[in-house]
Amino acid sequence: MAAAKTRTSTFSRNLSTAPPSHGPGLKCGPNGTVFLSSGIPDLDKILGGGFPLGSLVMVMEDAEAPHHMLLLRNFMAQGLVLGQHLLYSSPARDPRGFLGTLPSPAASKDDKSRERDPDQEKGLRIAWQYKKYFGENQLDGQRDGKHEYSNEFDLRKPLERHFINGPRIDCVSIQDSDLSTLRDRCATFLSQFPRNDGSISCAGRIAIQSFCAPQCAYSNMEWDMLSFIRSLKSMVRSSNSVAIVTFPPSLLSPSFCKRWQHMADTLLSVKAIQDEDKELAQLLTGYQDMVGFLNVHKVARINTQVY
């Protein structure tokens, strides 16, 4: 008697193949999406894991406070700590000087507990016995495993110099450069991270600050700036990278501001909290420690059937 053949269909999911391996700082999500951390763990949770690779993130700045710089600092510092490549562009004449303001990863509770008194450690007989079986290095690796994707950052401590010195960082000043030059620099940078179906060894990050600032020579060329954003989105979509562009919406006409927002995969905005707002003080716990709001207007829908 012939053996019965198992029936298969095109709707069957192949579970035998192992998921592709990815480099540090990347996390697998649903439907084959790979996430890259924003540098703010709480924001990653709100966004469902972080920024998807191949997405364009746009941040609307607040005209009264530079809170968008906090987002950029954490985003850039997170990539450098994980060994990822970075392209940073700003209206400043020397953008590399901004790298000196990037924050350093904050010490975790586990790191602090490791610095306890040696006499106190001798009293922990159970933990000491486990070291004989697992080894000190293996235990430390398990403690640090959760920091391979996202870190907490201490804004009071600057990032160590060896992170910001090296060939992995490219800085571009858009004060005197035209859009074609910036487009070419972005294309060259993104060509290092072509998208494929295999494993991802490394990812890239692009951070463009105050794209339509008055210091830029093209600040009054709204159609050209829109064309650049459309081109950047197309290039990022076909690469293993994420681009963040911050812009002051007050400098754009209402129609172009809506167009820019529509181009974003993930749309955020920051807004400063007014001093002595009694209504907010009654609604929010810890109001005195807050400096602003971060609003999430749109979340990326890459690799989904929803548009």
**pLDDT digits 0-9 by tens, 36-77:** 999 999 999 999 999 999 999 999 998 888 889 999 999 999
Both structure tokens of 111: 């790191």
213: in domain: yes
Task: Please write the tens of the pLDDT for every residue from 174-217.
Answer: 887 889 999 999 999 999 999 876 778 889 999 999 998 888 88
CB contact at 8 A, 33 and 303: yes
18: in domain: no
pLDDT computed for residue 108 by the predictor: 66
279: in domain: yes
Task: Please write the tens of the pLDDT for every residue from 269-284.
Answer: 998 877 666 666 666 6
**Residue of 148 and 27 predicted with greater confidence:** 27
Mean pLDDT along residues 282-296: 72
- Residues 143 and 240: their CA atoms lie apart, in Å, by 28
Token match 């975790």: residue? 108
119, pLDDT greater than 70: no
pLDDT computed for residue 40 by the predictor: 92
- Average confidence score pLDDT of the chain: 80
171: in domain: yes
Mean pLDDT along residues 118-124: 46
The CATH number given to whatever domain includes residue 240 is 3.40.50.300
CA atoms within 13 A on the CB side of 254: 0
**Residue of 285 and 30 predicted with greater confidence:** 30
Task: Please write the tens of the pLDDT for every residue from 147-180.
Answer: 468 889 998 899 999 898 888 999 999 887 889 9
131: in domain: no
Q: Write the burial class of residue 152 (CB in 10 Å: 0-12 exposed, 13-18 middle, 19+ buried).
A: middle
pTM for the model stands at: 0.79
241: in domain: yes
- Residues 283 and 55: their CA atoms lie apart, in Å, by 35
Token match 């364009």: residue? 56
pLDDT computed for residue 43 by the predictor: 93
CA atoms within 13 A on the CB side of 257: 12
Region class of 296: left (phi > 0), else alpha (psi between -120 and 50), else beta: beta
109: in domain: no
- Residues 62 and 247: their CA atoms lie apart, in Å, by 9
- Residues 182 and 212: their CA atoms lie apart, in Å, by 13
Domain coverage including residue 154: 26-104+147-298
CB neighbourhood size of 205 (10 A)? 25
Residues paired with residue 153 on neighbouring β-strands, in sequence order: 105
110, pLDDT greater than 90: no
288, pLDDT greater than 80: no
Task: Please write the tens of the pLDDT for every residue from 224-264.
Answer: 999 999 999 999 999 999 999 999 999 999 999 999 999 99
Mean pLDDT along residues 100-110: 82
Domains held by the chain: number: 1
132: in domain: no
